[in-house]
Amino acid sequence: MTIPKDTTPKKQLIFPLKVLFEDEHLAAIHKPAGIEVSGNKFKTIANALSQNLKPSSRTDATTPQPVHRLDYATTGIVLVGKTHSSIRALNKMFEGKTIAKTYFAVAIGKMEPSGTITSNIDDKPSHSNYKVVESVPSERFGVLNLVKLHPKTGRRHQLRKHLYSLGNPILGDKDYAVESLILKGKGLYLHAYALEFEHPFTNKIISITDELPEKFGKIFS
């Protein structure tokens, strides 16, 4: 991943973000649905970061940069580096799988109470653990489950593909779905809920959570 040299971004997107954690080295923000984390579009989380975060006073401060991605439709925590050294360190931690990630999803259909999914994605090994927290009957979908997920690898669309491979697609997913069970207009019920890791510079254990979106609470207690 390239690190921007300039500390002031060329384009500033005026887009208020909820900051969940911030210090001189790094930050974590809540990503709403319907916006890309980064990319060629102007409306991205990356372009809104400078306006929402305090500039770092470290000598290697740079334009704040997301160090991982969430899908366009997924909500939840995005981790951000504010200095050259923290961007490098966080990238290494994601590669080394030393950042523990917890997601919540609403999955359709009857499920085993817990399990491990290890089906390959794009011919690469992948691994997710899941636990059903609550199940409610649904007239349209039979059963809806609140599922807690721990991805151990970081493949593209991993959790969406994994739950689909079980026959339990995520509510609101249009790409990995059973045609008759597509819920339109409510978005994807997948949320990056928590991150836990050892801070690369202070060595403190950092635990960040981002409460579930309101729409989850309309289905479950």
Instruction: State the pTM of this model.
Output: 0.91
26-31 and 128-138 as β-strands: parallel, antiparallel, unpaired?
A: unpaired
| 122 is an active site residue | no
For residues 56 and 77, what is the distance between their CA atoms, to the nearest angstrom? 20
What is the CA 202 to chain-centroid distance, rounded? 24
Residue 98 CA: distances (Å) to CA of 4, 93, 189:
25, 5, 26
pLDDT by residue, tens only, the chain of 221 residues = 555 555 455 556 889 999 999 999 999 999 999 999 999 999 999 999 999 999 999 999 999 999 999 999 999 999 999 999 999 999 999 999 999 999 999 999 999 999 999 999 999 999 999 999 999 999 999 999 999 999 999 899 999 999 999 999 999 999 998 888 888 888 999 999 999 999 999 999 999 999 999 999 999 97
Domains located in the chain, CATH noted: 18-96 (3.30.2350.10), 101-190 (3.30.2350.10)
| Residue tagged active-site, from 6, 23, 71, 123 | 71
Residue with tokens 């809540």: 30
